[in-house]
Amino acid sequence: MTKKLMYYVKNIGLKGIVPLLIVGLAIFGARMIIKTKPVARKKAPVISAPLVNVSSMKPQEFKIWTPVMGTVEASRKITLEPQVAGRVISVSDSFIPGGYFAKGDEVLRIDPLDYELALKQQQSVVIEAEYNLKLERGHQKVAGREWKLLRKSSGGTIQEAELALRKPHLEKAEANLAASKAKLRQSRVNLSRTRVRVPFSSMVVTKDAGLGANLGAQEAIATMIGTDEFWVMVSVPVDRLDRIVIPSVANGFKGSVARVVSGSNGNSFERAGRVLRLLPALESKGRMARVIVAVEDPLNLKGIEGVRPLLLGSYINVYIDSGTLDRVFAVPRTAYRDGDTLWIMKDNSELEVRKVEPIWRDQDYIYLEKGVVEGEKLVTTDISTPLQGMKLRENVSAVERDNNDG
């Protein structure tokens, strides 16, 4: 019995116990691993302060200009017409579109023959009238002597005296001479008008007559524009007028200086201009004031090197001198944020979103008289999500680079 039990334990019992022991040990080990597993500690998230460029605020004096736009127009424009009728017998070589004429230059000539004959005829009429007046004055002397003899014997009234002295005859002779001389002057004027001249320095825009044409008096022969000066009709906000000098007796009729800029970026050019007049009515649509800016020698007929002509109809930029601003802060447009705000980096490196009220604006800057203090740091870098009081880091290398450049 003992041998059988030993045999059973040795050959069968051990085979069943060993697997159970292995399983038990595995379960025990797993539990121990779970119990002794290290617990990961949660770390607080690290928030990195944005790196920003700043600019130190400093009050300065700034020259300011009012930017406006306008269209170039002719200051003078006429329809050239002859004052006498006739056939065109000659024309100037410059009488073509774009041709230039100085003041008093001859454009074309009308056949003068009829007017020369009329002048000679009128000259003879004047000579005859002068003769008649001299003859009548001789009659006056004879009549005077006769009246003296008649007056001693019979007296006479004033009316009788005037008739006896041939006073009405003298007045008629004098009037005839004056009328004939007036007609002679008119004949000379008509003859001179056969040479059609320009009344001011001008350029041909359109030509409506040529050699051989039979023209009537006051028939259009050309459209001419003055070349001494062009006007730029600009629209100006009404609230900017107080900074623009309008010509008047008080200022010697000298308006604000203006810079007239034509062309696109990279191919633009600038001409000098001056405010000439303020028109009395606002625009019907935009309710803007209308100001005339004059530009002398717009086509550069003087031939100044590097000066390009200003063309009619051009829509151009004009910058009108608006004086200076004293002790103001200039803020780049790129640093002027939505809602009329600036980003200021305070001494504790926190962001302050500050609302301001500009006193002037132009294309590149806004100008502040108050709302910032000298030495404050203006943030010029864009921040994706700016929050009031958020921490900032100043880009010191950018400051050093700016100082070195200065």
CATH number for the domain that contains residue 260: 2.40.30.170
Could you say which of 292, 307, 325 is where a domain stops? Answer: 325
Residue 200 φ then ψ, to 5°: -155, 165
Spatial CA neighbour of 198 closest among 101, 333, 127, 329: 101
Pairwise CA distance, residues 63 & 99, whole Å: 41
CATH number for the domain that contains residue 334: 2.40.420.20
* Number of separate domains in the chain: 4
| Residues 99 and 212 grouped into a single domain | yes
pLDDT of residue 363: 85
Give, as one character, the DSSP assignment of residue 391: B
Question: Is residue 157's pLDDT more than 80?
Answer: no
| Residues 106 and 209 grouped into a single domain | yes
Say if 231 falls within a structural domain: yes
- Other beta carbons within 10 angstroms of residue 374's beta carbon come to 10
| Residues 199 and 88 grouped into a single domain | yes
Say if 45 falls within a structural domain: no
Contact indicator for 54, 378 with CB cutoff of 8 Å: yes
| Residues 218 and 94 grouped into a single domain | yes
Q: What is the maximum span of the chain, computed from C-alpha positions, in angstroms? A: 218
For tokens 């001419």, the residue is 224
| Residues 191 and 175 grouped into a single domain | yes
The 10s digit of each residue's pLDDT in 97-155 is 999 999 999 999 999 999 999 999 999 999 999 998 888 887 777 666 666 666 655 55
- Sequence-ordered strand ranges (E) for 45-166: 51-52, 54-56, 60-74, 77-80, 86-91, 100-101, 106-110
pLDDT of residue 398: 57
Say if 397 falls within a structural domain: yes
| Residues 124 and 179 grouped into a single domain | yes
| Residues 132 and 186 grouped into a single domain | yes
The 10s digit of each residue's pLDDT in 218-231 is 999 999 999 999 99
Say if 272 falls within a structural domain: yes
Quick one: pLDDT band at residue 257, thresholds 50, 70, 90?
very high
pTM reported for the whole predicted model: 0.72
For tokens 């629209």, the residue is 235
Pairwise CA distance, residues 184 & 196, whole Å: 20
| Residues 257 and 132 grouped into a single domain | no
The 10s digit of each residue's pLDDT in 64-82 is 999 999 999 999 999 999 9
The 10s digit of each residue's pLDDT in 355-403 is 999 999 988 999 999 999 999 999 999 999 999 999 999 998 755 445 4
Spatial CA neighbour of 351 closest among 380, 375, 330, 328: 380
Average model confidence (pLDDT) across the chain: 86
| Residues 211 and 122 grouped into a single domain | yes
Say if 175 falls within a structural domain: yes
Say if 262 falls within a structural domain: yes
Residue 199 φ then ψ, to 5°: -80, -15
| Residues 136 and 89 grouped into a single domain | yes
For 247, the domain range is: 66-74+225-325
Higher pLDDT, 285 or 291: 291
Could you say which of 280, 303, 325 is where a domain stops? Answer: 325
| Residues 307 and 332 grouped into a single domain | no
Say if 46 falls within a structural domain: no
| Residues 232 and 277 grouped into a single domain | yes
